[in-house]
Amino acid sequence: MLSSFSTRFPSLCLLVFLLCVGGVLSSSDPPSKIGIGYRLISVEETSDGAIVGSLQVKQKNQIYGPDISYLQIFVKHETEDRLRVHITDAEKQRWEVPYNLLPREQPPKLKQTIGRSRKIPISVSEFAGNELIFSYTADPFSFAVKRKSNGQTLFNSSSDQSDPFGQMVFKDQYLEISTKLPKDASLYGLGEITQPHGIKLYPNDPYTLYTTDVSAINLNTDLYGSHPVYMDLRNVDGEANAHGVLLLNSNGMDVFYKGTSLTYKVIGGVFDFYFFSGPTPLAVVDQYTAFVGRPAPMPYWSLGFHQCRWGYHNLSVVEDVVDNYKKAKIPLDVIWNDDDHMDGHKDFTLNPNNYPRPKLLAFLEKIHNIGMKYIVIIDPGIGVNSTYGVYQRGMANDVFIKYEGEPYLAQVWPGAVHFPDFLNPKTVSWWGDEIRRFHELVPVDGLWIDMNEASNFCSGLCKIPKGKQCPTGTGPGWICCLDCKNITKTRWDDPPYKINASGLQVPIGSKTIATSAYHYNGVLEYDAHSLYGFSQAIATHKGLQDLEGKRPFILSRSTFVGSGKYAAHWTGDNKGTWEDLKYSISTVLNFGIFGVPMVGSDICGFYPAPTEELCNRWIEVGAFYPFSRDHANYYSPRQELYQWESVAESARNALGMRYKLLPYLYTLNYEAHISGAPIARPLFFSFPNYTECYDLSTQFLLGGSVMVSPVLEQGKTEVKALFPPGSWYSLFDMSQSIVSKGGQYVTLDAPLHVVNVHLYQNTILPMQQGGLISKEARMTPFSLIVAFPAGADGGQAKGKLFLDDDELPEMKLGNGYSTYVDFYATVNQGAVKVWSDVQESKFALNKGWYIEKISVLGLSGSAQASTLEVDGNPVNDVSKIEFSSSEQKRLNVLEGENKQKSLMVEVKGLEFPVGKNFAMSWKMGI
């Protein structure tokens, strides 16, 4: 839904903010180096092989408040590839991300001595694990993390006089630490931010992390999520190594990236660093998600296409949308409602006039019968209304965030609201009960949790005005109509260090919950603010799973470290512009690195009106987002994909391919769940040694080997695409190949309805025949595409396929409701062999799935093939089986280059059960 501010009138909001915070912006900058750091005064080893030390501040100062005198440092190699460095106040418990929200090992209790004491070394001491080495200098205290295999320094907090940053600082409301970086390190992550320069972090761009309802059109601004993690990819002498660094801290922070250094300035909490050794990008995400939580398994239908709009005024409009998609023969799996279905914008309600329950239930029965699904929005703000059951039960259960003993009052779409406190176990139970009650009213198939940064249309301490209606019912719903006064009386509302909130250093309680409000057990909103959407996703996931024991689908706008375990994400309120189309790719790829692989952007833009050409090009990108949804604003013209015939054609092409690729996408969903592997990936994930693709943000991979190269500029009918070294085959026309020797750019034809999608060599791609709904597409025969290096005499290829009952909450093998298949192929001097190795065959056999066609690309030799064998037996009766071959056209032959021919061979009419091992072979004529 529309952001609460800066969406329709960003320039006006900018002016207002500048006026509001002028005093903050004009304050003189503090010195770049604050204090002279700490010294290590004791260190000892623990019984489980960790080390614990004590630090003492060398000299106190009052910049941003007094320094904390004594710190405790705890260092442990938690796994072979993960190192933790935890630094906190040695004498007093400080705020940390709650251990029940993000389960992890507790550091030792404060002021406890375990194991044998050691003398303080005068110089540097080392503490080595399997992959990483932790070393420290005692005075002034600094630490470094090195890679054991090659001695590379991955993190180094020491500060020299020539450095632009100082020693470590640790105060109650200001923590600072820096690391040196080599010039050639490529960094990715630190979000959620719309990055205008592409996926790679750009020196001197601001990186502020604090969950904020500012629309995604605002560049270089802290947006809906907080992910203080980055991946560092370095190529030294042609060899690439990647590692990851997480600072697990939920307080607001600025991160300053200068190219040769990175500085964290955090307004609370502790330093809780986790280092992940990689050494590949995939390994970093595997290690990261092993710690923060593996991505949630998604139901099969969620990989289909979704249609939403804020402004489907009544049920008949929704019914028309579904009918029109069918008439236009454009695939559609899920229809959504923004808040139009609600009674007065209130959660868990139905508008009795526009969405009468009997008619809605009849509509849902109709679409459920054909396999379609229905999802609605839920905002966290609960309307203050004495006749509203959800509010009554919330008050009775005491579930709301408090201010001075009373539920904190805010305004969102229903008018005056209270915010549930999801850190309170009672709130989680109450929320689950409200989900159950609503599901009995309307059997929805998933929930969309929005505005959960949390967004507030007012700021400060508010009261319901006497004698006037609020909201008025006319004009924009996001204008504050409560009687409010600013709260600046506490150091939580007005901290000494001002992070660059909203890109304008606005007060951190602006347009959200006052930061001096408090949660369960006295937890301050100041500390827990960025966890709000995360805690709501956990409660919503539990509520949905408890309903019918089915696999939940949740879409959340606000996210934090670990959110991918519970929810999918979309990139928020974007604009229908060519720039926003381009930015969407970087944000989608970043969320894969953050462990939230089910991610997409509003196709055609959320507002205002996209052009017809832009919508054509956007569906050609959006059809390949992991989460593919068209969504528009109340104030925008209609933009469903059938509104223009040209867009409908592009949608049929692009979504037609997506629906054929559903088995592959669903297998990637399984891989994401077991290893964290992103569904959509930057090219450097598959080609880490090829530095040309380190900064590439205009193309992306699905999995390891399907590359999408879209048109992202107005008026263009061709695209200059980078092809990493190897052979690539067009998925829309497999007779076309590109052989990239050493990596090269190739200009591809891309008229309006064409998107270029290529398959990489050494891959076996499982596909089906597609359809208009994933349920029917899922029952069509399978085909396999086997891609060898073009014209090679020898080669091998691999692929995999995961199938299961996608209603089950768990996505795993061994339960009798899933099948996993490895596919293999080799070619050796004209002898071609393709075979499968099936685990847990029963599920696929019961479904009756079979492979009908196998296409093999890149073969050398003549067009004749002989001695076809299946499972070791010659195939004599070939009446059913069709065997054909054709020459492949190479698109990028350079002048004077020896043109190596390659063939595509297709074997049709097969009936290989997916759930049964098969082996097929033949010999190519030489």
Tell me how many degrees the CA angle 273-255-172 measures, rounded to the nearest 5: 65
The question of whether 450 is a catalytic residue gets the answer: yes
Q: Within its chain, how far is the Cα of 54 from the centroid?
A: 38
- Distance between CA atoms of 219 and 215, rounded to whole angstroms? 9
Instruction: Please report, as a single letter, which amino acid is at residue 667.
Output: T
Q: Are 398 and 420 in contact (CB under 8 A)?
A: no
Name the packing angle between helices 315-327 and 357-370 (round to 10°).
20
Hunting for tokens 């009468």 — which residue is that? 356
* Structure token digits, residue 461: 């301490």
- Distance between CA atoms of 408 and 518, rounded to whole angstroms? 9
- Distance between CA atoms of 294 and 554, rounded to whole angstroms? 15
Q: Are 670 and 839 in contact (CB under 8 A)?
A: no
Helical H segments across 849-898, by residue range: none
Helix (H, G, I), strand (E, B) or coil at 719: strand
Helix (H, G, I), strand (E, B) or coil at 674: helix
Instruction: Please report, as a single letter, which amino acid is at residue 813.
Output: L
Q: Are 33 and 165 in contact (CB under 8 A)?
A: yes
Looking at 254, 272, 453, 620, which residue is catalytic?
Answer: 453
* Structure token digits, residue 444: 């929805």
- Distance between CA atoms of 590 and 569, rounded to whole angstroms? 12
Provide the sign of the torsion angle of the four alpha carbons 689, 694, 698, 704, taken in this order.
Answer: positive
ω before 279 within 30° of 0 (cis)? yes
Residues 6+ apart with CB under 8 A from 909: 852, 853, 880, 881, 882
- Distance between CA atoms of 376 and 32, rounded to whole angstroms? 49
- Distance between CA atoms of 418 and 410, rounded to whole angstroms? 6
- Distance between CA atoms of 479 and 470, rounded to whole angstroms? 10
* Structure token digits, residue 229: 């993690």
The question of whether 48 is a catalytic residue gets the answer: no
* Structure token digits, residue 459: 């700021």
- Distance between CA atoms of 320 and 318, rounded to whole angstroms? 5
Which phi and psi (to 5°) does residue 143 adopt?
A: -135, 155
- Distance between CA atoms of 443 and 361, rounded to whole angstroms? 8
Helical H segments across 371-468, by residue range: 389-397, 425-441
Q: Are 718 and 778 in contact (CB under 8 A)?
A: no
Bridging pattern class, strands 744-749 and 253-257: unpaired
Question: Concatenated DSSP letters for 183-248?
Answer: TT-EEEEEES-B-TT-SB--TT-EEEE------TTSBTS--S-BEEEEEEEEEETTEEEEEEEEE-
Provide the sign of the torsion angle of the four alpha carbons 105, 110, 115, 119, taken in this order.
Answer: positive
Name the packing angle between helices 425-441 and 532-548 (round to 10°).
50
Side-chain-side CA neighbours of residue 923 (13 Å): 6
Closest alpha carbon to 375 in 309, 451, 445, 302: 445
Looking at 272, 333, 493, 573, which residue is catalytic?
Answer: 573
Looking at 450, 493, 671, 804, which residue is catalytic?
Answer: 450
Q: Are 818 and 803 in contact (CB under 8 A)?
A: yes
Q: Are 279 and 265 in contact (CB under 8 A)?
A: no
The question of whether 286 is a catalytic residue gets the answer: no
First to last CA, the chain: 62
DSSP state of 500: -
**Total number of residues shown for the chain:** 926
Name the packing angle between helices 281-292 and 662-675 (round to 10°).
60
Instruction: Return the active site residues.
Output: 450, 453, 573
